[in-house]
Chains A and B, each alone.
Chain A
Amino acid sequence: MYRFVHVLCLVLMAAFLGGCSAGESNVAQGNRDGILHFGNGSEPQGLDPHVVTGVPESKIIDALFEGLTRKNPWTLEPEPGAAASWEFSDDRRVITFHMQPEGRWSNGDPVTAHDFVWSWRRALDPAMGNLYAYMLYPVENAEAYATGKIDDPALVGVRALDDMTLEVTLNAPTPYFLQLMDHYSSYAVHRETVERFGKATDRFTRWTRVGNIVTNGPFQLQNWELNRRIVVERNPHYWDNDAVYLNGIVFYPTENIVSEERMFRVHQLHYTADVPLNKIPAYRKMADTPFVEAPYLGTYFYLLNTERPPLDDVRVRKALSLAVDREALTRNVLYGSNNPAYAITPPGTLGYQPPQLFTHDPEEARRLLAEAGYPGGDGWPGLELIYNTSESHRKIAVALQQMWKDALNITVTLSNQEWKVYLDSVSQMNFQVARRGWIGDYVDPNNFLDLYITDGGNNNTGFSDPVYDELILQRAPRAATQEARFALFHEAETRLMEQMPILPIYTYASKHLVHPSVKGLPPNLMDFVNVKYIHLEDVPLTEFELE
């Protein structure tokens, strides 16, 4: 027994110390072999496009699958994907997609219009429990089918006229519909493979595993080690294989952004999903910095519960908003990496500019508060602000708490809640002020403005305005031109901000470290990565010197 213990200890020791020599870095190796090492934030829930929701999932699924279109990473305009071309009917309600003649699944089967018809019905099937089913709601009868009001999937407005022609009928002209065609909820899955491993709507099957999964994108799944890495390799059957530079991508679940940054610094990663806030100033100062930031299609704001005093008074809501110095906040607390927001829609959404009705104006804020019955903060009943536990949310809440104290002489208490508790409080409207963020699923003001229709699932403020509802639901979709449509959105958003059921704070920014060897990975409003355009240059690896 003693001897056994000795041997065991020696074996462990040998394994532990085994091969302590420095090897070639991932980046050096990757640049030579055409392999991109990609920090991806977290372990994906899965790879079934009709089951998962989330950004890390989308990055892998976009490499493996391809929708009817694929966005250009510079312009965000749709380019041919599984469809080679498309045309709209005169009333813009019917779109005819012509499939890629050379479109192939990774097992060699042709990608047909029937694949998309079957897949969209699957995505909408209520039994599927697809959280993103609503992305297809612009399609005729899609919502009725997904919510169980009709049972016949044949009534959904998607038909295969023949193998190569797909006809989609919309409820109304939808300017952003083509954009939805490269969201994974609209991707096709390989029917035979899905059905080989279970029912079409089963969430528990093994069809997405290595060796089972069949995909139609530029890459195919090679290896999947839980919480360690997912490796995809070139799909030789891909119709545009010649245009793809990379031979493979390794996705890492880099949950800890501090470790991720360290991995980047020692050339273990080409790309990071995020950058720790406190490292930003040092990276900014660096010559030829790998730090890349860009406005991101999302807004950080506070929900104001209009049904509870004192926030049932619009003057109080406005006073709170006017007292916030957003410029100072973004400069001092957020290291200048975000722009102040004065409305819910991020500026420049396809050329749409949201109204700005106010600026930082403590004088006016005090006047409004006095008018509401709390002159100089007298008689203030107190207010509670909730946010989900996180250091950055806390910093912002503390800054605003201080601004309100200084400008209005009122006390606001802060309360952090664990994520799911916080979600519960928000959906039950069990709060006075609550932190909130909204990231657009597609580039269009509608994606932000339809949040605040009466009783909307994500309204959570009690805001209700019949005129607003009519503008968003009835008039904007029927607008003749994009300009007319944007004018209606502008009118609606002006009404929204006059009532101030939300307190906008800043526009999100995407922040990444991108190795100098990586080309064709530009920053954009959607933080969208088009793997087809990425190539790697063999640059000498230099150290990143942080001050």
Chain B
Amino acid sequence: MWRFIAGRLLQAIPVILAVITVTFFLVRVAPGGPFDSEKAVIPEVKAALEAQYRLDLPLGQQYLAYLQDLARGELGPSFKYPGRSVNELIAAGLPATAELGAYALLVAVVLGGLAGVVASLKPNSAQDYIPMSVAMIGICMPTFLLGPLLVLVFGIHLEWLPVAGWGDIPGDKILPSLTLGAAYAAYIARLSRAGMLEVMSQDYIRTARAKGLPEWQVVTRHALRGGLIPVVAFLGPAFAGLLAGSFVVETIFQIPGLGRFYVQAAFNRDYTMILGTTVFLSTLIVLFNLLSDILAAWLNPRLRAQYGEA
């Protein structure tokens, strides 16, 4: 098992290095620079700025200098926010994004898992079709539509919940979490339904039923563990996706998270910020994929044996 983890971590290094290199050079190819503005910039001022940010060096040298900084864990100063380092900006945005991601995942697992399990118990009946149709709508509905809809209903008409903010007013975390979690809940519903259907036809379920266990115990004690394996495998990438893809929800609800920084950095040509967030998020994605593999192995004895041999 440890060899498996170590091997996967080693594989991650060239992946991340490739991400850095491609990003570094691609952002430089894009027209326009961080100091271009609507008003013409005086050449002397531009030269002074470029010198302060090392942009006057040859590109190769800039790349090497960046890698050196990165090896020390420094992501460099932000162009858009002078006086702030990229490390600091990520640290400032991450808690809100991670919290939002965790709640969204919770919403996704609870709602999605429940719907999937319920649907799988009576396949091809109303109990199956209704939750699965709702799930299909959930997958198709983009967050930029669902968010404002929820706000309109619960925030403006019913006045039950705040329309925006994060940790300012009690309850203001509910709508963003629902919005972001909805699409993932739908995926999880479909995954858990499929997983449960497969498990419910297995021999050990028949054995459990033959022992005379009531149906709910068959489901909770025996079927769930196997039926939810596909869901667990999905959780790692899903959480990474929630972190990297939360910018729409963050914008709708004015949440001070990482996603907004990430997207704005690209528009601003904030080179260090684009690189910093990309490196950070790709590392997270690699790590979460690994985590979900480990979790899946822990749930599934067959995989565990396989990793143990490797």
Evaluate contact between A23 and B170: CB separation under 8 angstroms: yes
Query: Once bound together, how far apart are the Cα atoms of A420 and B35, in whole Å?
Result: 10
Once the chains are docked, how many angstroms separate the CA of A203 from the CA of B49? 9
A253–B256 alpha-carbon span in the complex (Å):
9
CA distance A133 to B43 in the complex (A): 12
**Chain A 275-307 interface residues, beta-carbon cutoff 8 Å to B:** none
- Give A48 to B82 CA distance when docked, in angstroms: 9
Task: Give complex CA distance A206, B80 in Å.
Answer: 15
CB 8 Å contact bits of A114-151 with B (1 = contact, 0 = none): 00000000000011111101100000000000111000
One of B64-72, B129-137, B161-169, B184-192 contacting the partner: B161-169
B227 to chain A, nearest CB (A): 15
A226 to B170, CA, bound (A): 20
**With an 8 A cutoff between CB atoms, is B202 at the interface?**
no
- B256 contacts A228, CB within 8 Å? yes
* B151 interface contact, C-beta 8 A: yes
Distance in angstroms between the alpha carbons of A130 and B173 in the assembled complex:
40
Q: Is the beta-carbon distance between B83 and A48 smaller than 8 angstroms? A: yes
CB distance from B49 to the nearest CB of A (A): 4
Question: Which of the residues A15, A20, A148, A226 comes within 8 Å of B44, measured between beta carbons?
Answer: A148
Interface size class of B (residues with CB under 8 A): 35 or more
Q: Which A residues, 219 to 265, have Cβ-Cβ distances below 8 Å to chain B?
A: 225-228, 252-256, 258-260, 262-263, 265
Residues of B within 8 A of A20 (CB): 161, 170-171, 174
Whether A129 pairs with B48 at a CB distance below 8 angstroms is: yes
Selected from A126, A252, A268, A421, the residue in CB contact (under 8 A) with B163 is A268
| A contact residues, total (Cβ < 8 Å) | 65
* Residues of the B chain whose Cβ atoms lie less than 8 Å from the Cβ of A457: 39-42
Partner of B164, one of A48, A128, A262: A262
Chain A contacts for B77, CB-based, 8 A: 203-204
Indicate whether B208 reaches chain A with its CB closer than 8 angstroms: no
On whether the beta carbons of A51 and B164 are closer than 8 Å, the reply is no
Given the interface pairs A255-B251, A259-B163, the reply to whether A131 lies near B171 with Cβ below 8 Å is: no
Interface of chain A, main secondary structure:
loop
Least distance between B109 CB and chain A CB atoms (Å): 8
Judge whether A409 is part of the interface by a CB distance below 8 angstroms. Answer: no
| A422, closest chain B residue (CB) | B32
The reply to whether A226 and B92 contact each other, CB–CB distance below 8 Å, is yes
Give residues 1-35 of A contacting B (CB, 8 Å): 1, 9, 12-13, 15-23
Interface membership of B37, Cβ < 8 A: yes
Q: Which of B80-112 contact A (CB under 8 A)?
A: 80-85, 89, 92-93, 102-103, 106, 110
CA distance A424 to B84 in the complex (A): 26
Residue of A with least CB distance to B169: A23
In the complex, besides A147-B44, A421-B30, A421-B31, 20 extra interface pairs with C-beta distance below 8 angstroms are: A16-B177, A17-B174, A22-B171, A46-B84, A51-B83, A129-B46, A133-B42, A203-B77, A204-B82, A205-B83, A225-B256, A258-B252, A259-B251, A259-B252, A262-B155, A262-B163, A265-B163, A266-B159, A423-B32, A456-B40
